[in-house]
Amino acid sequence: MFFIGIFVHLVFLFSIFDIYFKSPIVNNAVTYQPLHEPPADRLVLFVVDGLRAESFVNYTTMPYLRHVANNHGRWGISHTRVPTESRPGHVAIIAGFYEDPSAIAKGWKENPVDFDSVFNQSKYTWSWGTYDIVEIFTKGAVKNNIFVEKFDPYDQSFSSDKNTTLLDDWVFTKVKSFFLKAQHDNDLREKLQSKKIVFFLHLLGTDTSGHTHKPKTKNFLTTIKFVDENIKEIEQIIKDFYNDDGKTTFLMTSDHGMTDWGSHGTGDDDETKTPYVLWGAGVQTVQDNLKQLDPETVSMLLEHRYDINQADLTPLMSSFLSIPVPVNSVGQLPSGLLQMSLPNKAKAIYSNCRQMISQYNKKRLDVEASAISVLYQPFEPFDGKKVQEIISFTEKLLQDEQYEKVVKLSEEIMHLSLSGLNYYHNYYQKPLLFTVTLSFIGWIMCLLKFLIEQKMFAQTEMTRNKNYNLISTSKTADVIIKVFSVFASILLSLMIQVQGLPVQYHIYFLMPIFLWMYALTPVNLWIQTLYLLKNRRRIYLLGIEILCYTLGSMALGLALTHRWVLSVPLLGMGLWPFFAASIQSLPKWVWFAWPFGCVSLSIFSFMSVIGKDTYIELVVSAGIIWLLIHSLFIWRFLLSNSADQDAMRELIISIIQIFTLAASLQAIYVQSKRFEDHLPVSQTLQSMCWIISVLLPLIPLLYTKKFINRLLGINTAILNFYLLLSVAHEGLFMVTMILNVNCWMFIEFKLINLSNIKIDECTFEEDNSKREKHLACIDRSVSSQDFRRAFFFTLYIILAYFGTGNIASLNSFEIRWVLCFTTSFRPFIMTTLILLKTLSPFLSVACSFRAIQYLTKAPSGCLNIVVLIYSNIMGLHMLYHVRNTGSWLEIGTSISQYIIVQLITLFIVLINQIAKVLTEVEIHNSILTKLFKNRKKYV
Ligand SMILES: [Zn+2]
Ligand SMILES: [Zn+2]
């Protein structure tokens, strides 16, 4: 069962990559040789890495390029897509498609797939830049026509005193010496004289400068000024080399933008808007009589502006050189930028159109070739017959020289092809989602069956009650289900084979069948269960319960993305005792305290994510509240029976804990104030915090095993550590949660109605009498109450993790958070501390849950299975919310949340083990006995 579970969850985990993350690249599509005359013989492409549009249009620091854009050239905004990273940006410019996040599944550094590019189609390409960019385009090239000169930007020689112009200087110097060398090198000069050639300069300096100095600073502006001057110089060198023959086109653009704080990756306007400037041969110039200024910019001419999408640059560059548009491109030629005669322009657009048809058609044929004809559903608006018709129709139009019609029709066909591509790209997504969903439900049914089997085993007398007629029918049903499953799996297997789908599809399609077969047989079990339920309780109540838990689990799943949703199950939880039958046994104060606690907890889910702002006063007040609670406890419980030796010890430890907490609060406050006043933080206080944190986990072990005493010790220790790492309201959240969890424990205790025992007499000790009986009688079977307990536990676990939005704090390093421990930037220590802080609320919840398990004598294995059921419902919900668009961070977060849900049970088992140690180990006994023994020896 355990290994099946692991296997099933692994399949669930990997299925998302086949469902959502597939490469959009079509292999082996036919290129189309364009018919128009090239307006240029060569193209020079400057990619100024990380230059955002704002830096170009709102500052006058790039005077030369601005002059070009406003006079004989064109400029505009090139809209990129997320993720705004260097690699996808360059792929969009040079290969014309927006790289799919499938790269995640296939590794980051390596080229995930071979694809066509402008460089690949050119006669020769020379490129200079960092190795990780220029090498993207050499791998797919088979013709050996791409020459690269690369450098490692992480090399020591570039890092000297943060001068980021060194990186660009390297590129410019290499290009200059390249053209010098060409004057003496005959072989090279011959190559340079050929047509359809490309020069590519990748300028990383701006990106590095933006990261280190931020885009609005003087340092950054110096870097782009340097780039501007050198582009002017390179243009002159190239013009001189070719004797000003007017056959060179220049293009300056950028792969992505940058935020004000020097980052990129997400979809901010600053990140997705990049500038481009186009000038030279074949560029449509503007007769600007009006000289109208663009109001969005600082003195840029509006008539020269022409906004495009980033991928459109690919067909644009191809058209200047009259080379085939790279087959994987989805860009549409911005024909307004081309200065050509109508026939030439029409032919250029037609070339772009044929490339898209070719790509679409290949994709269509790929799917069609393997699909079974009965089941196959073609893309109606543009099926095989229509493709042929349209090609011959446009060819005829070209022959008849009806160029205007060609332009119009081509543009329509391109739109059609793009939607067709999209259709076939996701062709298998729906069936896959369907089967994985079936598997999820099947697996949940299997888990339920497992629970029912245990229950049946515990209540053997029920199974005796046999109806022979029924048993024979159910046996026939079993046989039918099994035969049907075998038949269905053979059929499906054959179908997958015939369609030539990848091997893992067998698993996706066959798994639901096996899971359902296992879950449904023997049918008798389910019939018996239904009987039982029918006799015992009203069915509709059960229906409501199932509905509540399902909706609740889905809400928990939703909460991973929208934190406020957590408040819905929390409010439900607050109302719960009022529906419980034995509410009368609860003391009156609980009637108010419990709903109040739940509501306060839900308020935290509306608050902003911690980490951005600091309110140290909130942290300190949380500590003070806890100090009061702790003192109250001492006064109420410990002082009253201090005659006892154990109680005396507990009293002393409690007081020690109070002093430690007070000292920690003092440290938190002092350090924070010093940091704010820019004074050096105290080293002594830091070492004190380290000592306290090391001792903290040991202190609770000195308590006796009495529930409330031990729990108080544990919670004070956990809270103490947590506060040392807090910066804002999360301390208050922790206090509220601890109180709420313990209130829950109290309610559970009251509900089981043990009138003869008081809660302060219950201990974590296992009953000896029960242990002896253990062999004979099986554990108490699962009841509907356990479903509720498991749900509450799951809710608390999710709450402990997302209640204050902790996930964000894991991947950012803020010195502020670890002020009490270190002030130097040490990522490993910082991550460990933050991780421990994130884990500590779980521990608190898990310890109280153990107490509840002890009180209710719930079988813990079964509870874990119930938790697994809930996490599967959550997982099913998450399956439909995996994101495959957006920045790497957003995609990564959505994948990791899916993984978290998949692994949650494993995690709970782990946390329970730690909780077990904290609640059950006693060190004072062992220490005392050792001391005692030692003394005996010496005597
Ligand atoms: Zn970049
Ligand atoms: Zn960057």
Ranges of each domain in the chain: 41-339, 429-536, 539-754+786-930
More confident of the two residues 58 and 931: 58
Number of Cβ atoms within 10 Å of the Cβ of 289: 7
Of the listed ligands, the closest to the CA of 130 is: 1
Question: Nearest 5°: phi and psi at 40?
Answer: -135, 155
Ligand that comes closest to the CA of residue 258: 2
The model's pTM: 0.70
Q: Report the separation in Å between the CA atom of 149 and the middle of ligand 2, taken as the mean of its atom positions.
A: 21
Cα(747) to ligand 2 centroid in Å equals: 55
Enter the tokens of residue 314.
């690919």
Q: What is the mean pLDDT of the chain?
A: 81
- The position carrying tokens 């049914």 is 445
The SS3 call for residue 216 is: coil
Q: Is residue 457 over pLDDT 70?
A: no
Per-residue pLDDT tens for 321-347? 999 999 999 999 998 999 999 999 999
pLDDT of residue 937: 47
What is the CATH architecture assignment of 41-339?
3-Layer(aba) Sandwich (3.40)
pLDDT by residue (tens digit) across 256-313?
Answer: 999 888 888 777 888 889 999 999 999 998 876 777 888 888 888 888 999 999 999 9
pLDDT digits (tens, 9 = 90+) for 506-544: 888 888 898 888 888 777 778 777 777 777 666 677 778
Least confident of 1-15, 335-349, 648-662: 1-15
Q: What is the pLDDT of residue 697?
A: 80
* Tokens of residue 36, six digits: 């128009």
Q: What percent of the chain has pLDDT over 70?
A: 84
Name the strand (E) or helix (H) holding 200. Answer: strand 197-203
CA of 148 to the centre of ligand 2 (A): 21
Is the pLDDT assigned to residue 314 strictly greater than 80?
A: yes
Distances 137 to 114, 134, 359, 592 between C-alpha atoms, Å: 9, 6, 20, 67
The residue among 219 and 352 whose pLDDT is bigger is 352
| DSSP track, 518-574 | HHH-SHHHHHHHHHHHHHHS-HHHHHHHHHHHHHHHHHHHHHTT-GGGGHHHHHHHH
Residue 770 has pLDDT above 50, yes or no: no
User: In whole angstroms, what is the distance from residue 262 CA to residue 250 CA?
Assistant: 28
Whether residue 638 is predicted with pLDDT greater than 60 in this model: the reply is: yes
724 forms bridges with which residues in the sheet?
none
The confidence score (pLDDT) of residue 136 equals 84
Q: pLDDT tens, 806-860?
A: 554 454 455 667 777 877 666 677 777 877 887 788 888 888 888 887 777 776 6
Which ligand sits nearest to residue 47's alpha carbon? 1
Q: Of 51-60, 372-381, 636-645, where does the model show the most confidence? A: 51-60
pLDDT for 759 beyond 60: yes
Which range has the top average pLDDT, 86-95, 149-158, 375-384? 86-95
Q: Which residues contact 227 (CB under 8 A, 6 or more apart)?
A: 48, 62, 168, 203, 205, 206
The residue ranking higher by pLDDT, 121 or 115, is 121
Between helices 616-633 and 730-751, what is the axis angle to 10°? 30
| Residue listed under structure tokens 């009253």 | 640
Question: Does the pLDDT value for residue 240 go beyond 90?
Answer: yes
Residue 390 above 60 pLDDT?
yes
236 C-alpha to ligand 2 centroid (Å):
29
Question: Residue 69 CA to chain centroid, in angstroms?
Answer: 40
Q: Report CA(133)–ligand 2 centroid distance (Å).
A: 12
Going from the Cα of 207 to the center of ligand 1, the distance in angstroms, rounded, reads 6
Q: What is the pLDDT of residue 773?
A: 38
pLDDT over threshold 60, residue 465: no
Distance CA 141, CA 858 (A): 65
673 Cβ neighbours under 8 A, 6+ residues apart: 616
- Ranges of H-type helices in 152-256: 165-182, 186-193, 205-213, 218-241
What CA–CA distance (Å, rounded) separates 779 from 858? 8
Mean local confidence (pLDDT), 661-675:
86
SS3 784: helix
Beta-carbon neighbours within 5 Å of ion ligand 2 = 207
Ligand 1 geometric centre to CA of 49 (Å): 4
Q: What is the Å distance from ligand 2's center to 802 Cα? A: 30
What is the CA(89)–ligand 2 centre distance, in A?
11
Q: What does the DSSP assignment read for 641-678?
A: TTTSHHHHHHHHHHHHHHHHHHHHHHHHHHHHHHHHTT
Question: Looking at residue 107, what is its pLDDT?
Answer: 46
